[in-house]
Each structure stands twice: as C-alpha cells, then as structure tokens.
Structure 1
Amino acid sequence: MKKLRYYICLGLYYMVARHLPGSDTPYSLGSKKIRGFLCKRIFKSTGSNVNIEHGVYFASGRDIEIGNNSGLGLNCRVNGPLKIGDDVMIGPDVMIFTQNHKHDRLDIPMRLQTDPKKPVIIEDDVWIAARVIVLPGVTIHKGAIVGAGAVVTKDVPEYAIVGGNPAKVIKYRDGRKV
C-alpha cells in the first residue's frame, strides 16, 4: 500500500504539480502546499515549510532529504543521494549531480561506464545562487554562499563565499582571510 501511495504521489507530481505556477505568483493556487504535500510522501525525509518550486526535477526522489525552511528553486534538477539541511536557499536552474561517467576504458562506450553514486551534502544555512552546478561527492558546509554560475567540484568550507569555474573561495563570511 505504501509503495502504491508513493507511485501515485510521484505520478501526480510529474503530471500536475511540477507544472503549477511558481509560489511567488499572485495566481499560484496553493501550488507550494500541493508540491510540499506530494514531496513529503516521495522524499526520504522532508522538514516543515519546504518550498519545491515550479519545474523542479528530482528523478525518483527516494534518496533525497530536505530540512526545515529549505527550498529548491525554479527548474532545479537534482539527483540523490542528496541531503539538504535546514534554512537552505537553492536558486533557479541549479543542477546537483551525484553520478558521473568514466572514460578510461576504450573497449566500452562511455555511456556504459558509470561511476557509483556519490552523495552530495548541503549543510544548514547555505545559499546556492542561480545556475550553480554541484558535482558528485561534494559537501557544502554550514553558512556557505555559492555565487551564481559557479561549478562546485570540491567541498566548500564553513562560511565561505565561493564563485567561478571551478569554484574557489573569494572570502569568508566570518572575517577569516582567504
């Protein structure tokens, strides 16, 4: 019965809720609550006051955890295993990947050479701006800010502000020197 409920909620999300207006529009028709209701039944765990915006794609969602007061911005594309802490802001068009392709064997097409999944962890009070790409196995530590368009290839320290491709520390929110 639980499995059936999961598939019904997943189907309703992808057929209907994903296409409802963004929560900041005057005609949102309760779309934030509808998407939140469905994701609570799809994700591994879901905190309170979660905002899943219009167009978010999360595959099966089974190995995604999202904390209190956190959200996924317009048209985000995320894969699990993914753990998002509390008070996390994720902007529009962010992509979070947890798996990549290998390319070391010439006798097997690259499309068939996949690495095992590597979890992405986003700790509490993180802001990920628009169009950021986060690669497999990365941890973005507490209080960090990732600037728009950054490509995060390695862990981001606590309270760091990073940007660029690949993302590098620009400065620290707590006054530390780079």
Structure 2
Amino acid sequence: MTAPGPARRLRGFSGAGYDKGRGLLMQAAWFTVLHVVFVKWWCPPRLRPVLLRAFGARIGERVLIRHRVRVQWPWKLTIGDDVWVGEGAWLINLEPITLAGDVCVSQEAVLCTGSHQRRSPTFEFDNGPIRLDTGSWVAARAMVLRGVTVGAGAVVGAGAVAHRDVPPGTVHTAGGGR
C-alpha cells in the first residue's frame, strides 16, 4: 500500500516565479491572432513566421509551420533556419523553447515547458526551458517535457515521452529505449 500524497490546497496556488513576459493586452492580442488566423488551414504557411515575429519570436529563414500549430507565447520562442513544425503541434512555452536549425517537430507533437511541484500542497510551478539541437527530430505525437535538451541529430520517436535529456545521435522510443 502506498502512502497518500500531500493534501492539495489549490486555492493557495501563487504561481510565484512565473513571468508571462508580456502584459495582458499583448497576451489577448496574441490569443486573438492565434485562434482567428494562425491555426487556420487557410492561413498561408509563409505568413505564420511573419505573425510569430510580429509578436516577438526570433524565427530563421525557410521555416515551415503547418496549420493547427499552437504557440503559447511567441516572445519565448526561437527557431533557427530550415525548421519544420507539423500540423497540430503544440508548443507550450511558459519558459523559452529553442529549435536550432534543421529541426523537425512532427504532427501533434507537444513541447511542454511547464509542470508543477508534485510535493507542493499548492501545486506551485516547476517549469524549465526546452532545447532541440541541430538536426533533431520529435516524431508524431511525441512529447518533450520541461527542462529537456534533445541533442544534435537525436530522435524522440513517435508517441515517446522525453522527460530527461536525449543525448546527441540517439533514438528515444516509446518503450524508453535508446
């Protein structure tokens, strides 16, 4: 029998230490553009990097971002040259996400920089940045969690969850293998 976890008192959540990086007006403007234009199938792929740059993202050349991609905060996003982000990917960047050059984030992959302190009764944040190094690939429906670096040329296979760093040139599969 396992011991019960801490009693949750979510009413006491403070969010201490988390900075969204922009004021409420900018957040509202981004969410409007995100949901009315950016994610739509009819929004031309060449326009998506332009929209992200307009909201503070640093985006390289020849970046392809498909429809239904969601980005939490563009001003916390850096994308290098020749990067592809597949349909339905979700970049939950409460903290910075950096995609180096020649990176592929496939369909419905999730990059999530946010988490919570599981032992905190008020469930305070436990966030960390994500970095995908040159030539790495996060395959379809894979997930990269907060604080993880996916090394150069490494692969997070379809459906896998990367909860710790993935060394350069390795393959992390859904079964946890490398």
> TM-score range with shorter-chain normalisation?
0.7 to 0.9
1:68 aligns with 2:78: no
After TM superposition, give the deviation of residue 118 of structure 1 in Å: 0.6
- In structure 2, the residue matched to 1:93 is 108
Q: Deviations over 1:43-65 (max 9, x none)?
A: 43100011111111111211110
CA distance in 2, matches of 1:103, 1:129: 28
- In structure 2, the residue matched to 1:132 is 142
After TM superposition, give the deviation of residue 9 of structure 1 in Å: 6.4
1:47 aligns with 2:68: no
Q: Deviations over 1:106-145 (max 9, x none)?
A: 4x3x3xx222x21100000111110001111000010111
What amino acid does structure 2 have at the position aligned with 1:54? H
Please tell me the root mean square deviation across aligned C-alpha atoms, in Å: 2.2
CA distance in 2, matches of 1:40, 1:32: 14
What amino acid does structure 1 have at the position aligned with 2:143? I
Written as runs of structure 1 = structure 2, the 5 A alignment for 1:93-112 is: 93-106=108-121, 108=122, 110=123
TM-score (norm 1): 0.77
CA distance in 2, matches of 1:19, 1:41: 18
CA distance in 2, matches of 1:5, 1:55: 21
CA distance in 2, matches of 1:127, 1:164: 14
- In structure 2, the residue matched to 1:17 is 38
Q: Secondary structure at the match of 1:69?
A: coil
Contact 2:89–2:109 (8 Å) recurs in 1: yes
**Percent of aligned positions with the same letter in both sequences?**
25
CA distance in 1, matches of 2:27, 2:41: 20
TM-score (norm 2): 0.77
What amino acid does structure 2 have at the position aligned with 1:104? R
**Cα distance change on mapping 1:154 and 1:105 into 2, 3 Å:** closer
State the number of aligned residues: 153
Written as runs of structure 1 = structure 2, the 5 A alignment for 1:148-167 is: 148-165=158-175, 167=176
Larger RCO: 1 or 2 (CA < 8 Å, sep 6+): 2
After TM superposition, give the deviation of residue 13 of structure 1 in Å: 3.6
Question: Unmatched 5+ residue regions in structure 2?
Answer: 1-22
After TM superposition, give the deviation of residue 96 of structure 1 in Å: 0.8
CA distance in 1, matches of 2:48, 2:27: 14
Q: Deviations over 1:18-60 (max 9, x none)?
A: 1124xxxxxxxx7111212212222431000111111111112
